[in-house]
């Protein structure tokens, strides 16, 4: 190879390297609109619409999960909270365990039971040990999601 | 998605081939360009990408091409500097790729690694202590095990084990450290924090006693960043940062070898034939490269001592110029960006902390080393991931890449 081709060869290489970076950045930009993969948090939102004459306990999300906020859920029977899809309330929080806690309505109150979750269910700053009976307005949190128990209707 | 990975890999390998052809003009290239080794690497990269695709292990399609670009350019430069080291580097890249394939194919679920956090901790401590006791001393620091003619630097493995441990530990206790530590409920977080703090100080102490200052700085960076990621507590990070500054000043006053490094950094030309020699040569080398470089194989980067290991970036900057050096930096930046993206999209917090820790490791390690070689901070002897010569470092980098790949491939699954 002559001196002059050698001189230009280095520019060819630099152009090649930058073309490559361009390709990689283009592939990176294509990915930028991140697909939102949040699954529907409530298993059956239709049944959760409050009907005026129903009585009993309702679960509402105070903060932490936009998709659940304002969509109260009636506690007719035992209700499972956790990250697993089979839970009635799917808590999409990194600190939630698959089967995190359960709620059982018991007339005068609601029994909250921690199902051996890794990070605990909290009443304020205190972790629930085993189970606890909550009254109206009782608040508990799983991860960064805070729930409140509300009593509605005329029961 | 996957088709893009193979296409990008092929493009990267073509550019590396061009670089190899150009570098073969160097006088150190006796007996022509090592096309055999190059072909072996091409086959390994494409074969593994294809195997992962056939096994339906999805994952970030940019990780492999970026690593291929960095390791390819690094290998061409190492071979151009010293063909013997280049041959070993080629072997190490192939071994690293094998480790990558094995890690990516055998880890069914990376979340299982969380259960082995104390195993990781104990293995790391045992490795580090045993190299202190039984290691081989090279250049006044006892950091290597020697097997035959190959040397192995256990700290490269230890850093991955530490990230695994920290990710699992902080996943468990980080949340509690977010709340007030002085309250009555702060008993458990106080204890966990104390444990973590004592462990951190001990690790830093061991690394400083081993004169592995680069690794001490790197470990500090990883620890504080991961701690911040898990807890979001700026106050404790600032406190730890102050402790590090005190430790650094103390080390400067106490250890003569630290002082030599700092003086060589402040004014390399004051003693340019002795302690400042390496730094001065590196600066001449950078200046000689200019904007477009001398062209691969046309410069004289061999003048810099340890050009293939500590100063691989300077050698690349001399022959590819400022533009080539920026390209390498951009490649590192993209790799770190992708690793952080993996962290943000991971479905569980352990994955986020693990991928984040690996991202931070790549970022800190490349920044500390590159900043050291261009006289922004005192030079510390650590390797540039994927680029500079070093078997253990290459192997560790590929294992890290495999972990990132595995975490990103599980984005879709349940957690």
What confidence tens digit (pLDDT) does each residue in B57-110 have?
878 889 999 999 999 999 999 988 888 888 889 999 999 999 999 998 888 788
* Confidence label for A49 from pLDDT (cuts 50, 70 and 90): very low
Nearest to B380 by CA among B269, B146, B214: B214
- Measured CA angle at A62 (ends A57, A68), to 5 deg: 85
Taking residue A150's Cβ as centre, other Cβ atoms within 10 Å add up to 15
* Confidence label for B276 from pLDDT (cuts 50, 70 and 90): confident
pLDDT of B361 reads 94
Would the CB atoms of B324 and A17 count as touching at under 8 Å? yes
CA distance A151 to B52: 54
More confident residue, B152 or B89: B89
- What is the DSSP secondary structure assignment for residue B382, as one 8-state letter? -
Would the CB atoms of B8 and A18 count as touching at under 8 Å? no
Residue A49 burial (CB < 10 Å; 0-12/13-18/19+)? exposed
* pLDDT(B357) > 90: yes
Q: Which member of B327, B337, B349 has the closest CB to residue A18?
A: B327
pLDDT of B73 reads 93
pLDDT of B333 reads 94
Nearest to B393 by CA among B365, B370, B359, B413: B365
* pLDDT(A41) > 80: no
Would the CB atoms of A10 and B22 count as touching at under 8 Å? yes
What confidence tens digit (pLDDT) does each residue in A55-74 have?
578 888 877 766 666 667 77
Distances (CA, A) of A7 to A1, A10, B71: 10, 6, 25
H or E element: which one contains B241? helix B234-254
Alpha carbon of residue B377 to chain centroid: 17
Cβ pair B258, B208 in contact under 8 A? no
* pLDDT(B346) > 60: yes
* pLDDT(B329) > 90: yes
> Does B414 touch chain A if contact means CB atoms closer than 8 Å?
yes
Contacts of A95 in chain B (CB under 8 A): 175, 349
pLDDT of B61 reads 87
Question: Residue A151 forms beta bridges with which residues?
Answer: A57
pLDDT of B404 reads 93
CA distance to partner chain B, nearest, from residue A88 (Å): 16
pLDDT of B181 reads 64
Would the CB atoms of B295 and A25 count as touching at under 8 Å? no
- What is the DSSP secondary structure assignment for residue B269, as one 8-state letter? G
More confident residue, B147 or B179: B147
- Pairing mode of beta strands A89-90, A79-82: parallel
ipTM given for this complex: 0.78
Contacts of A90 in chain B (CB under 8 A): none
Using CB atoms and an 8 Å cut-off, which of residues 143-182 of chain B contact chain A?
A: 172, 175, 179
Residue with tokens 């670089």: B19
What confidence tens digit (pLDDT) does each residue in A66-123 have?
666 666 777 878 888 888 877 888 887 777 888 899 888 877 788 888 888 888 888 8
Q: Model's pTM, two decimal places? A: 0.76
What confidence tens digit (pLDDT) does each residue in B167-210 have?
998 888 877 776 666 666 667 777 878 888 888 888 888 887 77
Taking residue B352's Cβ as centre, other Cβ atoms within 10 Å add up to 22
* B320 phi and psi angles, rounded to 5 deg: -105, -5
> Does B4 touch chain A if contact means CB atoms closer than 8 Å?
yes
Would the CB atoms of A18 and B337 count as touching at under 8 Å? no
CA distance B247 to B215: 14
pLDDT of B76 reads 92
Would the CB atoms of A31 and B12 count as touching at under 8 Å? no
User: What is the number of CB-based contacts under 8 A between chain A and chain B?
Assistant: 85
pLDDT of B410 reads 80
Q: Token pair of B36, please?
A: 């055999």
> Does B1 touch chain A if contact means CB atoms closer than 8 Å?
no
pLDDT of B95 reads 93
What confidence tens digit (pLDDT) does each residue in B378-391 have?
888 788 899 988 88
Report the mean per-residue pLDDT for chain B: 85
Would the CB atoms of A20 and B69 count as touching at under 8 Å? yes
Would the CB atoms of B19 and A13 count as touching at under 8 Å? yes
H or E element: which one contains A142? strand A139-142
Any idea of the CA torsion for A65, A68, A72, A76, to the nearest 10 degrees? Answer: -100
Contacts of B24 in chain A (CB under 8 A): none
> Does B302 touch chain A if contact means CB atoms closer than 8 Å?
no
What confidence tens digit (pLDDT) does each residue in B199-243 have?
888 888 888 777 777 888 888 889 989 988 888 788 888 888 888
Among positive and negative, which fits the CA dihedral B279, B281, B283, B286? Answer: negative
Q: Token pair of B316, please?
A: 């690349």
What is the percent of chain B with per-residue pLDDT over 90, rounded to a whole number? 31
Would the CB atoms of B8 and A14 count as touching at under 8 Å? no
Cβ pair B398, B159 in contact under 8 A? no
What confidence tens digit (pLDDT) does each residue in A138-147 have?
889 888 888 8
pLDDT of A55 reads 54
pLDDT of B57 reads 80
CA distance B26 to B32: 10
CA distance A38 to B411: 12
């Amino acid at each position: 190879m002559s001196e002059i081709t050698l001189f230009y060869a280095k520019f060819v290489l630099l152009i090649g390297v930058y073309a490559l970076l361009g390709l990689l950045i283009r592939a990176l930009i294509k990915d930028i609109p991140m697909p939102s993969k949040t699954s529907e948090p409530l298993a059956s939102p239709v049944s959760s619409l409050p009907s005026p004459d129903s009585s009993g306990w309702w679960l509402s999300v105070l903060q932490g999960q936009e998709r659940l906020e304002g969509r109260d859920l009636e506690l007719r029977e035992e209700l499972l909270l956790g990250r697993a899809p089979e839970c009635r309330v799917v808590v999409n929080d990194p600190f939630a365990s698959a089967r995190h806690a359960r709620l059982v309505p018991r007339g005068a109150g609601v029994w909250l039971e921690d199902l051996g979750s890794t990070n605990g269910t909290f009443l304020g700053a205190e972790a629930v040990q085993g189970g606890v009976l909550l009254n109206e307005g009782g608040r508990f949190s799983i991860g960064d999601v805070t729930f409140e128990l509300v009593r509605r209707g005329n029961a | 998605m996957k088709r893009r990975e193979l296409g990008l890999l092929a493009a990267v390998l073509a550019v590396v081939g061009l670089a190899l052809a150009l570098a073969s003009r160097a006088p150190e290239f006796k007996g022509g360009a090592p096309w055999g080794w190059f072909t072996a690497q091409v086959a390994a990269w494409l074969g593994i990408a294809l195997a992962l695709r056939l096994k339906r292990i999805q994952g970030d399609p940019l990780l492999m091409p970026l690593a291929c670009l960095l390791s390819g350019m690094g290998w061409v430069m190492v071979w151009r500097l010293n063909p013997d080291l280049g041959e070993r580097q080629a072997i190490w890249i192939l071994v690293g790729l094998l480790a990558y394939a094995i890690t990516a194919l055998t880890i069914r679920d990376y979340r299982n690694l969380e259960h082995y956090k104390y195993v990781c901790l104990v293995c790391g401590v045992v490795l580090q202590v045993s190299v202190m006791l039984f290691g081989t001393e090279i250049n006044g620091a006892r950091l290597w095990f020697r097997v035959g003619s190959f040397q192995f630097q256990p700290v490269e493995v230890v850093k991955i084990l530490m990230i695994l441990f920290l990710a699992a530990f902080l996943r468990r206790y980080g949340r509690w450290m977010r709340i007030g530590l002085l309250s009555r409920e702060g008993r458990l977080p106080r204890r966990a924090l104390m444990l973590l703090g004592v462990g951190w100080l001990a690790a830093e102490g061991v690394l400083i006693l081993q004169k592995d200052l680069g690794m001490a700085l790197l470990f500090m960076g990883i620890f504080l960043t991961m701690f911040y990621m898990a807890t979001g507590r700026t106050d404790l990070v600032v406190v730890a940062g102050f402790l590090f500054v005190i430790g650094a000043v103390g080390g400067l006053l106490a250890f003569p070898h630290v002082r030599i490094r700092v003086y060589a950094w402040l004014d390399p030309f004051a003693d340019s034939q002795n302690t400042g020699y390496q730094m001065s040569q590196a600066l001449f080398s950078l200046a000689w490269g200019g904007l477009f470089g001398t062209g691969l194989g046309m410069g004289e980067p061999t003048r810099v001592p340890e050009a293939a290991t500590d100063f691989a970036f300077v050698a690349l900057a001399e022959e590819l110029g400022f533009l080539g050096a920026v390209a390498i930096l951009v490649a590192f930046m993209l790799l770190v960006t992708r690793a952080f993206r993996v962290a943000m999209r991971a479905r569980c917090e352990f994955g986020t902390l693990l991928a984040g820790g690996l991202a931070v490791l790549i970022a800190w390690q490349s920044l500390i080393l590159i900043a050291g070689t261009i006289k922004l901070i005192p030079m510390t002897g650590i390797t540039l991931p994927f680029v500079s010569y070093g078997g253990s470092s290459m192997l560790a980098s590929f294992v890290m890449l495999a972990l990132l790949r595995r975490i990103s491939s599980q984005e879709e699954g349940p957690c």
